[in-house]
Structure 1
Amino acid sequence: MRVAIIGGGWLGLPLAKKLSQSGHQVVATKRSEKGVQSLLDVEVSAVQFNLGDSLDSPHLTDVFNAQLLIINIPPGRKSLQPDVFLQDMLNLINTAKQRGIEKLIFISTTSVYGESSRTVFEYTKVAPQTVSAKLHVTLEQHIRDLFKQHSVILRLAGLVSKDRHPARSLSAKKNIENGQKVVNLVHREDVISAIEKIITNDKFGHTYHLSSSEHPSRQQYYTDAATALELPTPEFVPSTSKDKGKVINCEFTLRELELNLQYPSPYDMIY
């Protein structure tokens, strides 16, 4: 299959490499020349593209000649202009449809469910609270309306890899609140495997989400993780709250995709 990935970075690059190795014809985008070179270095075709650039540029021909488009562009946190981001994303999605893209996978986030204490399933009503979550909900619906049964919304919990673990950013921090709430994490390798399953088994027309199957408390997990990684342990504010936050249940996704998680527990993700 001809696959184009908009956003060939931390997730997109290894995904592009894996799909290419599996026999797909892959092209991915990066914002900088250095980023383009990082894709070329792993033998993946690449073009330079930044969200908001002209979509009529000839060098995007290979992108819009793809059969499947994977959009993996999260809103930037520091310089986010919500209205501009939303319009640029809508233009990209609309152009993809107009140029003949047949299928679309949109990488979204489980933050669309909000932070209420409950177990959420793929069909649970969304309750976005942050600007980013609200943008994702709007884009999800637009994609469903436009691509219908040829689209997939893939909502991801907190992402982890060997070189990216949240325990490192929490190390040595003090007065951290909500230590009683559970963690919802997913490993990058499991995300890549899920996308491969979607493509190979033609599992379009659904909303999926991914998270590990186990959900220890933040205080317990990040303390244990810091110890295992030989980092200064974080300090949490004592809490008597019974609010455990949301728990991502992805049994439907795992069953539908016939996917066995390589990292079913957050403890499996500690290197």
Structure 2
Amino acid sequence: MPMQQISILGCGWLGLPLAKALLEKGFSVNGSTTSENKLSILENSGIKPFLIAVSSEGIQGNLNDFLNGSEILIIDIPPKLKGDTNENFVAKIKNLVLEIEKSSIKKVLFISSTSVYADTENTPVITEENTPNPDTESGRQLFESENLLLNNPKFSTTILRFGGLIGEDRHPVKFLSGRENIENPDGPVNLIHQQDCIGIIEKIIEKDIWNKTFNAATPIHPGRKEYYTQKAESLGLEVPRFNVEKKSVGKIIISNKLEAILKYNFEVMDRDF
């Protein structure tokens, strides 16, 4: 039996180690990057490399060959809506959908974010039953993109809403270290380790779970001030200073649906992340 092929659009911080993990599981992987310098990195990892850039104007690169022969497409291209960059992410997904419809793709896994849920003063407990109410441009465009994919009858889509992404080489405390007057000291953290991101995606593929929406955040939610103070101290970083005068806002992301349907147990818990 030939190896099943999967296409991963966006072999970045999460997509590249995910591709490597899927290779180890016996899949063949087509992987895309927007950087010519990364093509050799993908190829040397056993990934078939493609130089592809999706924009609101169109798609550059050989998307047909990238999708051809794959039944599953994983979309991991986060919106660039911070700083001076303010793209039309929804238009990018619309352009992508037109090409998916013409391809062999039957199943799409879209990496989204818990930013589709707003932070509020009453710190609600959020499950997938809560209607998203994004309060950021990134969250709004992600939610609209989710619906574009979910409502398309040509393929089945599963949405994965990750909390804040952390890993050995990536942690928000490094950005917060030494900063002052940081808001939301009592707002709960909703984080997820790269290892669990990959494990959850593997479970979705293994169990063939489509047409679902999952929240994905580690089920440990200390307050931001408590957590980032302890984390900075443990890493030998300058402790961030929080503004305790202003009322905190936030949300607690619950991943019970994911644990129940996928039978997934989080591997990286509080003391580890």
Q: TM-score range by the shorter chain?
A: over 0.9
How far apart in 1 are the matches of 2:199 and 2:175?
26
Q: Secondary structure at the match of 2:98?
A: helix
Pick the structure with more helix per residue: 1
For 1:1-271, what aligned pairs fall within 5 Å after superposition? Answer: 1-52=4-55, 55=59, 57-58=61-62, 60-76=64-80, 77-83=82-88, 85-116=89-120, 117-147=123-153, 150-239=156-245, 241=247, 243=248, 245-265=250-270, 267-269=271-273
Assess if the C-alpha contact under 8 Å between 1:55 and 1:95 holds in 2: no
Displacement, 1:86? 2.0
Counterpart CA distance in 2 for 1:115 and 1:148 is 34
User: AA paired with 2:252?
Assistant: V
Paired letter, 2:124: R
How many angstroms does 1:57 deviate by?
5.0
Paired letter, 1:190:
D
Q: 1:216 to 1:244 in 2, by over 3 A?
A: farther
- After TM superposition, the score normalised by the length of structure 1 is 0.92
- In structure 2, relative to structure 1, the CA distance for the partners of 1:58 and 1:3 (3 Å cut) is same
Separation (CA, whole Å) in 2 of partners of 1:56 and 1:33: 13
Q: Tell me if structure 1 keeps the 8 A contact 2:101–2:154.
A: no
Name the % identity.
Answer: 32
Give the total of aligned pairs.
266
CA RMSD of aligned residues (A): 1.8
Q: Deviations over 1:106-140 (max 9, x none)?
A: 00000101112200001211001111111111110
Q: Give the TM-score taking structure 2 as reference length.
A: 0.92
- CA-CA distance at 1:97 after TM superposition: 1.8
The answer (yes or no) to whether the contact 2:52–2:61 under 8 Å persists in 1 is no
Cα deviation, residue 62, structure 1: 3.3
Query: Is this contact kept in 2: 1:27–1:47, CA < 8 A?
Result: yes
Note the residue ranges of structure 1 that are not aligned, 5 or more in a row. none
User: What is the alpha-carbon distance in structure 2 between the residues aligned to residue 96 and residue 264 of structure 1?
Assistant: 37
